[in-house]
């Protein structure tokens, strides 16, 4: 048999609508009595988490005793439910009731659980980490500085002594005697990192032979598909490129081609000054790339040596 305990009060911090507990009895389900538990048995304004459950017996043990349910079993089914005498149950804390409510919510359906949670959220007046603040919650306004916040003496001192103007003149004189930070480009240029990725170039060996072995790793790894390579086999069995084109309008300067090359053939030079007047001039062929490599070979070799410990 199931008894329903209704605990409600306007002064209660937490409102529990339905708490059910199983006890033994002879009454049928449609003649189930109601037991109203006065709120005076509960400590007021105390959070359930602050109660000590270990020092008190559980509510299930208290309700299943014969003395607790004897007034209920002696009641006649014909008596109106609202006129039943109040059953005097042993005192228990809000933590016990909260524990039973959690058990009831765990065994209830999803819609019932959501309705109970929404009811609790609407009644609380504070924000929690697990939910938004209530509807009437307002943050404090920002305190903005105005002339009204200063005294008349401070405003007169700023106006007649011109302290703010003197402060600005001090900053101006301090910067006047410092060396200039200006770089007169193109006559002066700033330092460039050895890993700077600029205009592409094809390198040669000191003997003058091309480094590229036509493995096409750079063409395969290029995310912009800006590299096109055609190769043929020589008489000695080695492979060399017959066509090596790079569309500089597609290049995103990621450096993947330079990192994937096993012989350091394709590199990106420190040159960043290769503006053109037509789009066709940015379509580099093999001869253009080799000429860039011959022009920037000292800088390219120094950059590769500086980056070799990290590769």
As a whole number of angstroms, the distance between CA 18 and CA 214 comes to 80
Which of 95-99, 122-126, 255-259, 281-285 is predicted least confidently? 122-126
Helical pair 297-307 and 286-295, crossing angle rounded to 10 deg: 80
**Domains of the chain from N-terminus onward:** 2-107 (no CATH), 200-310 (3.30.70.3270)
More confident residue, 107 or 300: 300
CB 177 within 8 A of CB 268: no
Query: CA–CA separation, 292 vs 223, rounded Å?
Result: 23
pLDDT digits (tens, 9 = 90+) for 53-80: 444 444 444 444 445 445 544 544 444 4
Regarding pTM above 0.85, the answer is no
pLDDT band at 161 (very low <50, low <70, confident <90, very high): confident
């Amino acid at each position: 048999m199931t008894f329903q305990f209704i605990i409600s009060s306007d002064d209660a911090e937490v409102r529990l609508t339905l708490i059910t507990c199983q006890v033994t009895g002879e009454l049928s389900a449609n003649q189930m009595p109601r037991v109203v538990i006065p709120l005076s048995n509960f400590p007021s304004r105390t959070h359930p988490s602050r109660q000590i459950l270990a020092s008190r017996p559980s509510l299930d043990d208290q309700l299943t005793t014969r003395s607790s349910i004897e007034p209920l079993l002696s009641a006649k089914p014909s008596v109106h439910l609202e006129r039943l005498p109040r059953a005097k149950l042993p005192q228990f804390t809000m933590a016990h009731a909260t524990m039973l409510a959690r058990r009831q919510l765990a065994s209830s359906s999803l819609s019932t659980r959501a309705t109970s949670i929404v009811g609790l959220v609407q009644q609380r007046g504070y924000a929690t980490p697990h939910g938004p603040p209530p509807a009437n919650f307002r943050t404090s306004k920002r305190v903005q500085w105005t002339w009204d916040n200063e005294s008349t003496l401070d405003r007169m001192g700023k106006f007649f002594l011109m302290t703010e103007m003197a402060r600005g003149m001090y900053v101006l004189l301090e910067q006047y005697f410092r060396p200039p930070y200006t770089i007169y480009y193109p006559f002066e240029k700033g330092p460039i990192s050895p890993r700077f990725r600029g205009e592409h170039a094809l390198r040669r060996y000191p003997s003058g032979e091309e480094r590229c072995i036509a493995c096409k790793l750079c063409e395969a790894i290029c995310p912009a598909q800006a590299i096109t390579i055609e190769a043929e086999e020589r008489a000695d069995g080695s492979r060399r490129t017959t066509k090596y084109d790079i569309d500089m309008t597609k290049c995103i300067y990621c450096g993947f081609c330079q990192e994937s090359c096993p012989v350091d053939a394709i590199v990106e030079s420190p040159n960043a000054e290769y503006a053109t007047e037509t789009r066709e001039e940015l379509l580099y062929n093999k001869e253009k790339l080799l000429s860039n490599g011959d022009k920037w070979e000292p800088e390219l070799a120094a950059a590769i040596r500086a980056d070799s410990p990290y590769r």
